[in-house]
Amino acid sequence: MAASHQVSKVVVVGGGIFGVSSAVHLARLGIETVLVNDGPLAKGASGRSLAWINSARRRSAEYHRLRMIGIDRYRSLSARCPDAAWLRFDGGLTWDADDASNEIADVFAHEKRLGYDAQHLSADAIRLVTPGVCASAVTPQGAIFNAGEGWVDLPSLIEILIAEFVERGGQVVTEAGSATVTVANGRATGVTTTSGISFAANAVLLATGADVPRMVAVAGQRIADGTPIALLVRTKPVDLPLRAVLNTPRVAIRPTPDGALALDSAWSEKEVVVNPDGTYRVKASTIQGLLDEASNVLDGHPKLELESYGVGPKPIPGDGEPVFGQLREIEGYYVAFSHSGATLGLIAGELLATEIATGTEHPLLASFRPSRFSLQPANSPRNGM
C-alpha cells in the first residue's frame, strides 16, 4: 500500500460482532466512524450464535494461532469484567459418537501436541471436573475437557461495545435498509442505502455476515461461499449445575446469562425448510427433538421448554477459513467474513481497524486475505475448519 495512506473517515456496514468490534477499535484510534446496519444491531448471525470461545480439534496452524490470540483478548476483557454474566470461562466438554467417526483419541493427541489445555476423561471422571453431565450419555471412548474454553453472549457484548463507540463520538445508523458500497476509480468512496442515505468515506468495511460474497460480487470480486442455514434454540431458564459448553454427537449446549440454555446441532439445521420466498420454516418436531437431545445428556434429564429460536444463514467461507482485509483490486474496500465470529470478534476488529487506519497489513491476517479466491481455481480446497 502507498506510504501516503491517510484515512479520516470510515463507514462500517454491519451490526454484528465483526462490524461493531471494528467500529469501536477505529474510534479508539481517533478515526471518524459511521456504523450502518439494515436493521437493529445483532439481528443476524451474532444474535443466533452458540458463541463458543475455543480453538479445539483440528484446523490450519495459522487459524489456530489467530483463534488463540482471539481467546487472549477475551481473557483480558474477562479480567476487566470479572463478574460479567455474559462472558464465562468454565471450559468445554466434547465427545463423539460411538462409531467409526469417533476421533476423540486422535484429537486429544493433536491438542496435546499443540499445547492446548486438554484432558481425556472417562465418563465416570467427568463429574469430578465439570458438573451437570449425564455420565451414561458419554460414549465409551470418553470425552475431552478443555479448561481454557468459554462462551460469550454476543448481543450483550455488542451492546457494551456500542456504548463505548458512541461515547467516543461514533455514529450509529440502524434501520438504514440494504447498503451498497460505492466505488470510483478503483477505490471505495462510501456507502449508499435503500433508505436514501449516503455516506462518503475514505474506506469502507463490509461486515454483513453471509451477505458479504453477494455484495462484493457487485464490484466484480469473488469470495467463495459455504454458508448453510443455522438454527439456535433457546430454552426457558432452568436450575442446572452445568457451566461448561457441551459439544456432543447430537446436540451442542451452552448456558446463557439468564440461566437458560442455547442449543444447536448439525442434524437440526438440515431439517430447516427454506420456503420459495426465502423465508424459513422450522418444524415443531425438530425443536422438540433438540430439546430432548439436550435433556438426554444433562444430569437428571431435566424437562426443557422452548423460550425462542433463531434461524438464518451461518456465515462460512467456501474453504472454511476466515476472510479478512482489503479486496485485491479495490483500494479502501475491506471485508470481514468468517464462521468463528465469537472467538475472533475482538481480535479481528482490532487488526482490521489498525490496517484501515494505517494502511499496513498485519502478518496475522496474511493467510486470510480475500485475494486468495481470485488467485485460485473455483472449488480449490484449503485446510479448513
Per residue in 234-291, pLDDT (tens digit) is 999 999 999 999 999 999 999 999 999 999 999 999 999 999 999 999 999 999 999 9
Is residue 2 predicted with pLDDT exceeding 70? no
> pLDDT tens-digit profile of 84-119?
999 999 999 999 999 999 999 999 999 999 999 999
If you count them, how many residues does the chain have? 385
Biggest CA–CA distance in the chain, Å, is 65
Q: How far apart are the C-alpha atoms of 81 and 72, rounded to whole Å?
A: 14
Q: Are 49 and 154 in contact (CB under 8 A)?
A: yes
Long-range contacts at 285-288 (CB < 8 A, ≥ 24 apart): 286/231, 287/233
Q: How far apart are the C-alpha atoms of 168 and 176, rounded to whole Å?
A: 22
Residue with cell 452458540: 50
Of the chain, the percentage scoring pLDDT greater than 70 comes to 96
Is residue 375 predicted with pLDDT exceeding 90? no
Rounded to the nearest 5 degrees, what angle is found at the Cα of 291, between the Cα atoms of 285 and 292? 85
- Residue with the bigger pLDDT between 381 and 78: it is 78
Predicted model pTM: 0.94
pLDDT band at 6 (very low <50, low <70, confident <90, very high): confident
Comparing C-alpha atoms, which of 12, 1, 10 is closest to residue 336?
12
pLDDT band at 4 (very low <50, low <70, confident <90, very high): very low
C-alpha cell at 220: 466484480
> pLDDT tens-digit profile of 148-188?
999 999 999 999 999 999 999 999 999 999 999 999 999 99
Write down all domains in the chain, each with its CATH number in brackets: 9-47+155-226+318-374 (3.50.50.60), 92-147+228-313 (3.30.9.10)
pLDDT of residue 5: 65
Is residue 63 predicted with pLDDT exceeding 80? yes
Q: Are 310 and 357 in contact (CB under 8 A)?
A: no
> pLDDT tens-digit profile of 198-220?
999 999 999 999 999 999 999 99
In the three-class reduction of DSSP (H, G, I as helix; E, B as strand; rest coil), residue 10 is classed as: strand
pLDDT of residue 73: 98
What b-and-e string marks burial along 167-200, b requiring 16 or more CB atoms within 10 Å of the CB? ebebebbeebeebebbbeeeebbbbbbeeeeebe
Of the chain, the percentage scoring pLDDT greater than 90 comes to 95
Q: Taking residues 351-366, report their average pLDDT.
A: 97
Comparing C-alpha atoms, which of 157, 161, 156 is closest to residue 172?
161
Is residue 384 predicted with pLDDT exceeding 90? no
CA Rg, the chain, in Å?
21
Is residue 380 predicted with pLDDT exceeding 70? no
Is residue 378 predicted with pLDDT exceeding 80? no
